[in-house]
Amino acid sequence: MKNIFLLLAVSFTFISLQGCENEDVTKEVKKDGSIESSLTVLHLNDKQDVLTTTHKVWTAGKISKLIVHKDTIPSLGLVKTEVENNDGDKLTVPVKKDYEFYITVK
Backbone angles phi, psi at 27, to 5 degrees: -100, -20
Residue 13 falls within a domain, yes or no?
A: no
Q: Residue 79 domain-assigned?
A: yes
CB-CB contact of 85 with 59 (8 Å): no
Q: Is residue 40 part of a domain?
A: yes
* Domain encompassing residue 78: 29-96
Tell me, yes or no, whether 60 lies in a domain: yes
If one counts the domains in the chain, the total is 1
Q: Pick left, alpha or beta for residue 17 (phi over 0 → left; psi -120 to 50 → alpha; otherwise beta).
A: alpha
The one-character DSSP state at 24 is T
pLDDT at 62: 95
Give me the pLDDT at residue 58, please: 96
Q: Is 9 helix (H, G, I), strand (E, B) or coil?
A: helix
Q: DSSP state, 99?
A: P
Does residue 106 lie in a domain region?
no
Burial class (CB in 10 A: 0-12, 13-18, 19+), 92: exposed
Label the pairing between strands 78-84 and 90-96: antiparallel
Is 65 within the bounds of a domain?
yes
Q: Quick one: pLDDT at residue 26?
A: 77
Residue 50 is predicted with a pLDDT of 97
Give me the pLDDT at residue 21, please: 61
Q: What is the pLDDT of residue 38?
A: 94
- Could you state, in chain order, the average pLDDT of each consecutive group of 10 residues for the chain (106 residues)? 50 52 75 94 94 96 96 94 89 91 87
Is residue 52 one of the residues assigned to a domain? yes
- Residue 19 in any domain: the answer is no
